[in-house]
Amino acid sequence: MSLYKVTIIGSGNWGSVVAKLAAVNTLKYPSLFDYKVYLYVYEEIVEGQKLSEIINTTHVNVKYLKGHILPDNIVAIPDLFKACVGSDILVFVLPIQFIPNVCYQLRYRVKKTAIAMTMIKGFNVEDGRLSLISNTIRRELNVPCAALMGANIAEGVIREEFCEATIGCNDLQHSEIFKKLFETKYFRIRCVPDEETVEMCGALKNVIALAAGLVDGSRAGSQNTKATIIRLGFVEMIEFCKRYFPNTRLETFFESCAIADLIASSYGGRNRKVAEYFANEPEKTLAELEEEMLQGQKLQGPITAANIYSILERESEVEKFPIFRAVHLTMIKKIPVSEFMLCVQNHPQHSIL
């Protein structure tokens, strides 16, 4: 049997961490995987050097994961096609806004037998309707696509702190391959046959993390308040998934991709952090805060919040999801941060006997 060639598409902090996980396991399973892991790097100049060359010579992603040594079997390649040619496993770990162009460039150029995985926490809206990133990958590349989501803040995983992730994959054989590619003694994985819910939870929790950050930054309440926002947000996540994906499995919400990721993101993570500063510094735009705090990386939460709002508004369902609504309107400055809590205090949950 030929060995699986692996490409990680995206070299931000999480993409670099994922490349490390894969690189460790390609060496662990030499009869299954090609030992090299190819990392597509959007070329940038850092201190006068090309980022891809820095990674290949020092084994450090000095732009997005400074201070951490990556395995030397990771090969950084700044050309998308060269990074992906002949690959059997394509792992997408890049900002959602780049997916259409990346898929367009790879169309008709990937192996017909390839399999894909998305770790992108977001979704698109096409013709007013929700469209999963995995669906875009399947449609454009004509390959099956699973999803991996979980309570996996990059800084903790690169330090090898114990955590979990969830793989949503409806093909048992592919689940086994992905599990061997990414699981380690500190990064444990559960596989569930519920691709859509796993992927959606990864997107929706970012919006609730923004809500948690707004509460923290505005000092609108105690930990009691924040816990209430998280619980109500969790309910909205479940209701949104059930509304648009009728085959959603309730038990999936108790996996790492949902409840655990929601908790982790609401107390750590970039969406919560930036939202806290957003509440404290109303004179600054979201773009300015992203540039200052994220070294040019983009938040996925505000994009997801806008997409949720557009879908719900189109179907006249906005009022049934007060937290999703309030987060979007606050982040685009249609309502002041001081009014955020007023928008959620009469939540439909509280009218249920």
Known binding residue 73? Answer is no
Contact 308, 207 (CB under 8 A): yes
Known binding residue 98? Answer is yes
Known binding residue 14? Answer is yes
To the query of whether residue 334 is one of the catalytic residues in this protein, the response is no
CA distances from 189 to 71, 121, 176, 353 (A): 21, 17, 11, 38
Contact 164, 198 (CB under 8 A): no
Cα 347 to the center of its chain, rounded Å: 27
- Using H for helix, E for strand and C for coil, what is the string for 194-262? CHHHHHHHHHHHHHHHHHHHHHHHHCCCCHHHHHHHHHHHHHHHHHHHHHHCCCCCHHHHHCHHHHHHH
Known binding residue 325? Answer is no
Q: Quickly tell me which residue has 């919400």 as its tokens.
A: 253
Known binding residue 20? Answer is no
Cα 322 to the center of its chain, rounded Å: 23
Known binding residue 227? Answer is no
Q: Which of 179, 205, 226, 273 is catalytic?
A: 205
CA distances from 306 to 76, 157, 213, 217 (A): 34, 29, 17, 21
Known binding residue 11? Answer is yes
Spatial distance between the Cα atoms of 34 and 37, rounded to a whole number of angstroms: 8
Known binding residue 156? Answer is no
Known binding residue 300? Answer is yes
Contact 323, 344 (CB under 8 A): yes
Known binding residue 10? Answer is yes
Spatial distance between the Cα atoms of 237 and 203, rounded to a whole number of angstroms: 10
If we measure between CA atoms, which residue out of 259, 248, 273 comes closest to residue 194? 248
- Rounded to 5 degrees, what angle do the CA atoms 284, 66, 90 make? 95
Known binding residue 13? Answer is yes
Spatial distance between the Cα atoms of 90 and 88, rounded to a whole number of angstroms: 7
Known binding residue 12? Answer is yes
Dihedral of alpha carbons 122, 123, 125, 129, sign: negative
Contact 27, 66 (CB under 8 A): no
Known binding residue 270? Answer is yes
Contact 248, 267 (CB under 8 A): no
Spatial distance between the Cα atoms of 224 and 247, rounded to a whole number of angstroms: 33
Known binding-site residue numbers for substrate = 121, 270-271
Known binding-site residue numbers for NAD(+) = 10-15, 98, 154, 270, 298, 300
By annotation, the residues acting in catalysis are 205
Known binding-site residue numbers = 10-15, 98, 121, 154, 270-271, 298, 300
